[in-house]
Chain A
Amino acid sequence: MKIKPSTMTSRIALAGLALAVVGGSAAIGADDTMPPGRSIAYAANDIKLSVYQTKDAKDECPHGVNTLGPREQFKLLYPQDAGQKWKFVDTQMGREAEIWWPTLDKAEEFPFIEAEGKTAIGLDLDGKTKPSDFTSPEGKSGVDNQLYRVVGCIMNYRDGASIINSERAFLLGYHFNRLLIELTDVDSLVNDDDVTITTYRGLDALLRDAQGDFQAGGTERIDMRWGGKDFVHTGKGMIVNGVLKSEPMDILVPQQVAFSSAAASTLRGARFDLKLTPAKAEGLIGGYADIESFYRRFNRAWGTHFMSYGQQVPPMVYRALHHLADGYPDPETGDNTAISSSYSVKLVQVRILHAGKEVAETDSQRDARQLAESGTSSPSDAK
């Protein structure tokens, strides 16, 4: 809160709400920076791994990008014109089994190219500047994004590639992948030193206008089906000059792609760095990707042929993830279980309809209802 809430300030805020404009989909309250109901929510309409890219990948992939994907490797390993007869169990089935049960001690049969260079997109997750850290394109040092080294030279994660474009498309077509972020206790969308952040999985389609752009003001119900509570996480943050910066919090990132394949991966110690406006938010979500859930998320969601389009060989990725992991060491083995990472995200403002409140209401009606339900006389008391 800009000013720590007292009953008096809350009443002033409530009075402002009563006078607030109801019509605008992205209406701001009486002081022009406080959102109606001291809360605002956003739904992700674009989310992708942050991959810094230069022209022709010369800086980050000086040795070129990975060109030997699952199909190319299969062809080299099991040539069909050599007169040798191959067994299904040794070839195709064997390769598929390796995707699901990868090993760390296997010597690579083909080279795996990691991203190099000093620049990467991401956040400083540990407050330190280490030799392995990057500098952001804007010049900020200490950027933690080792996942970028893993995926930076895999075509699937570069602009124009198969998986990135497909994930965006499925983000529009499916609902199970809707990441919602709700900010509450917001006294100002410009500067507020104490806001509460809650993530959910959303249920409803996003609205798009005639230009194809996402339209602010749509309603999103919270999806509590099928483990929906696992997507509910709460943390604290502040808004500085219109940018939300959060304290670390574990979150679960939903995913749903081809053929409705649903998955999720854990982002530990996640931090939000989002430029906020009443209509949208854009920026980064950094954190340590839990390797096992991150790896299985992609295997569950994408088939080998999708991996093949972008020359992504899952077992090699798995080994690289472990090789470059830099966070959350296993207390017993000491091995890191998570890897620093960053998502570049775009979000559009939505109105969250909380479970059990399947009614249409204006912001002021919502505030009045919430106050009545809490049995208190002001929003701050209701918290």
Chain B
Amino acid sequence: MRLVGKHFGREGARVRKTFVTRALLFAAAVVLPAGVFLSGSSIVTASAKDVEAKEAGTVVGSPRRLRLLTTQQYINTVQYYFGPDIKIDVKFAPLERTDGLLIAGASVAGVSGAQIETYQKVASIVSAQVLSPDRRATLLPCKPKSDKAADDACAEKFLGEVSNYLYRAPLSKAHLAKFVAESNKAATQLNDFYAGLQLALEGVLLSPNVLFVAEREEPDPHHPGQMRLDAHSLASRLSLFLWNAAPDAVLRQAAARGQLDTEKGRAKIVDMMLASPRLETGVRSLFDDMFGFEDFVTLAKDGVIYPYYLGEASGDAREQTLRTVVDQLLTKDRDYRDLYTTRETFVSPALAIIYGVTTPPGWHAIEFPPEAHRAGILTQVSFLALHSHPTRSSATLRGKALRELILCQKVPPPPANVDFSAVNDPKSNFRTARDRLTAHRANPVCAGCHKITDPMGLALENFDGAGQYRTDEKGTAIDATGSLDGKDFSDVDGLSRAVHDNPALPGCLVRRAYSYATGGAVSLNAEPALVELNKNFAAQNYRLRGLLKAIALNDAFSTVSKPVPKPEPKKTASVPLLQVVAENPK
């Protein structure tokens, strides 16, 4: 906002205010029904027709979504088009983690007035950079007849191309004409073609058509009586899924030509997308979301207890695991389950002091030797530090994270009146976490949940709250024995193998990837698709590319069905805390 005001002066500010106010009103007008739609979509029940269709074995798809672009999707979209040097330092309002994913929360998000103000500010900053004197020649497809006057043709060419991209669908002529008219009007008043274009671009960026992904449906000719996403909505869903950004020109052209409507054409496009360098961006985003890495932003460690957890450690820990994911699953095309046993990873100088290794500046590959006990991403700083307290490790938090994030199981929350004194008292006589938790479990109210989380969390006790390896706690040797779903082990290496072999592990990724792909919580009627995808994943020896392709080509990905909500849990006098609610036991 400051950039524009400074550049245009008082008259520019007045012109801009008028135009942007209109854009805001437009946005508000669209947002309101969006909220109604979203609320409705979350409470709608399965129609008898849906149930019958499922029983009859016909295609049951995913709900049509209206969702907000995430911060990273917005940034990727802008930078892929205008260039990575466009600086966007913004964090939109946080999303609510829904069904295990933040991105699923984008489909149940509302927009407040304060958020619109943030969107407006970012739009202003982006448009000012795009139309800055040093970028005009590169980013504009035409040159105006005069820098100081409106130019209808050049404005229409620029705004047409940009709007088609940012709207993720062709813009109607009438709609484009409005933007061009506003651009010309401002250019005339300000005697500056680029200033007019800048205001128009700001308006485009602020459009609800840009900020919201509103999927549209059409009758599915291959499945009479059923609906499917229209081609541009399908292109957007594919692009946000695999690239975490708006579809590029090739994908939009494929949609316009009907290529996505045929099985062969869609497969060709998906193969192209899977071969693109942008796939890494999409995969990083999927796993960053699945692993709950947004919590790194607020992660704090006590500098006295963990002096080796330097300021760079959190960011580097997050990056290390994402690099490992990309290296193992994309570059080396390894079995997804091996991610939990691999000793291959990358280290930075800040992580090197935690891992006890020598490394040059920058990122470098390393394969830990077996005696290092660093097998799999559960033994990386990202998991160990993120699921610990600021001053101590936590077998419970680690076990809970393993259950919920990695195996898609649910651990009931602690009762409100839980007594934490045994675990929180720093002056207690308990020397190890195992001692403290054993005492804590003596309380039957606590025992239920902790039996779910602690046996595998205690196997990670050889790592302190910052992720550094240790053999003892307060001079007492650490007992790292444990069990996971019936498999006993004596140390963290055993835990890694048990996680690798756990049947819920691949199913959880399938579930998360499907939810991520379809942009919302998994509905009950998605079960047939998940079963099919799980079988496919196993048949492909758990290769990520294969899973992504299978999801992208699955009929459920493009077929529109109303969601079936989860049944409300029956209220009983006492909830069995021992129960682990497996969302996807298959």
Contacts and interface: CB of A to CB of B under 8 A. Distances in A.
B366 to A, nearest CB: 4
Contacts of A330: none
Contact of B357 (A208, A221, A361): A361
10 contacts: A22-B374, A23-B470, A204-B349, A208-B310, A209-B303, A219-B352, A360-B360, A362-B358, A362-B372, A363-B356
A215 B369 contact: no
A215 B308 contact: yes
A354 to B, nearest CB: 9
Nearest to B364: A360
Nearest to A217: B353
Given A209-B307, A362-B368, A23 B355 contact: yes
A362 B356 CA distance: 7
A337 interface: no
Contacts of A213: 307
Contacts of A20: 371
A25 B356 contact: yes
A346 B413 CA distance: 50
Interface string B344-380: 0011011011111111110011101101111000000
Contact of B371 (A22, A24, A25, A358): A22
Contacts of A219: 349, 352, 358-361
A381 B372 CA distance: 26
A360 B311 CA distance: 21
A364 B355 CA distance: 13
A contact face: mostly helix, strand, loop, or mixed = loop
A335 B524 CA distance: 95
A211 B469 contact: no
B359, B364, B374 interface centre (most CB from chain A within 10 Å): B359
A365 interface: yes
Interface residues on A, range: 20 to 34
Interface string A108-127: 00000000000000000000
Interface of A: 18-25, 27, 204, 207-211, 213, 215-219, 221, 351-353, 358-366
A155 B355 CA distance: 44
A213 to B, nearest CB: 6
Contacts of B374: 22
Contact of B353 (A18, A207, A360, A365): A207
Contacts of B304: 211
Contact of B366 (A18, A217, A351, A361): A361
B310 A209 contact: yes
Contacts, number: 118
Given A19-B371, A21-B471, A360-B364, A207 B358 contact: no
Nearest to B368: A362
A216 B307 CA distance: 9
Contacts of A204: 349, 361
B585 to A, nearest CB: 36
B358 A25 contact: no
A219, A352, A353, A360 interface centre (most CB from chain B within 10 Å): A360
B360 A221 contact: yes
Interface string B277-308: 00000000000000000000000000110011
Given A25-B308, A211-B304, A219-B352, A353 B371 contact: no
B115 to A, nearest CB: 33
A218 B307 contact: no
Nearest to B300: A210
Nearest to A24: B356
Given A360-B357, A362-B368, A207 B310 contact: yes
B468 interface: yes
Interface string B527-567: 00000000000000000000000000000000000000000
B108 to A, nearest CB: 38
B369 A22 contact: yes
A221 B349 CA distance: 12
B391 to A, nearest CB: 13
B356 A23 contact: yes
Given A209-B308, A213-B307, A360-B365, A27 B356 contact: yes
Contacts of B346: 360
Given A359-B359, A364-B371, 14 more contacts: A22-B368, A24-B470, A204-B349, A207-B350, A209-B309, A215-B308, A217-B308, A218-B349, A360-B347, A361-B366, A362-B356, A362-B358, A363-B358, A365-B369
9 pairs of A and B residues whose beta carbons are closest in the complex:
A23-B469, A210-B303, A217-B353, A360-B359, A360-B364, A351-B358, A209-B307, A360-B366, A22-B372
Contacts of B349: 204, 207, 218-219
A178 to B, nearest CB: 14
B354 A353 contact: no
A221 B352 CA distance: 14
Contacts of B310: 207-210, 215
Contacts of A25: 308, 353-354, 356, 468
A363 B371 CA distance: 11
Contacts of B308: 25, 209, 215-217
Contacts of A361: 357-359, 366
A351 B361 CA distance: 13
Interface string B110-153: 00000000000000000000000000000000000000000000
B357, B463, B468 interface centre (most CB from chain A within 10 Å): B357
A18 B359 CA distance: 20
Contacts of B361: 204, 219
Nearest to A368: B369
A209 B306 CA distance: 9
Nearest to A36: B356
A21 B359 CA distance: 18
Nearest to A352: B358
Contact of A358 (B352, B355, B360): B360
A366 B372 CA distance: 13
Contacts of A359: 359-360, 364, 366
A215 B347 contact: no
Contacts of A366: 358
A204 to B, nearest CB: 6
A117 to B, nearest CB: 39
A24 B463 CA distance: 10
A218 B374 CA distance: 19
Nearest to A17: B371
A213 B347 CA distance: 22
A25 B308 CA distance: 8
Nearest to B347: A360
Contacts of B364: 358-360
A365 B354 CA distance: 17
Contact of B307 (A22, A24, A215, A221): A215
Nearest to B304: A211
A249 B357 CA distance: 30
B353, B364, B374, B463 interface centre (most CB from chain A within 10 Å): B353
Nearest to B372: A22
A22 B356 contact: yes
B465 to A, nearest CB: 13
Contact of A210 (B307, B356, B463, B471): B307
A24 B469 contact: yes
Contacts of A208: 310
Nearest to A209: B307
B303, B347, B358, B366 interface centre (most CB from chain A within 10 Å): B358
B369 A364 contact: yes
Contacts of A352: 358
Nearest to B355: A23
Contacts of B371: 18-20, 22, 364
Contacts of B365: 360
Contacts of B311: 210
A363 to B, nearest CB: 7
A42 to B, nearest CB: 14
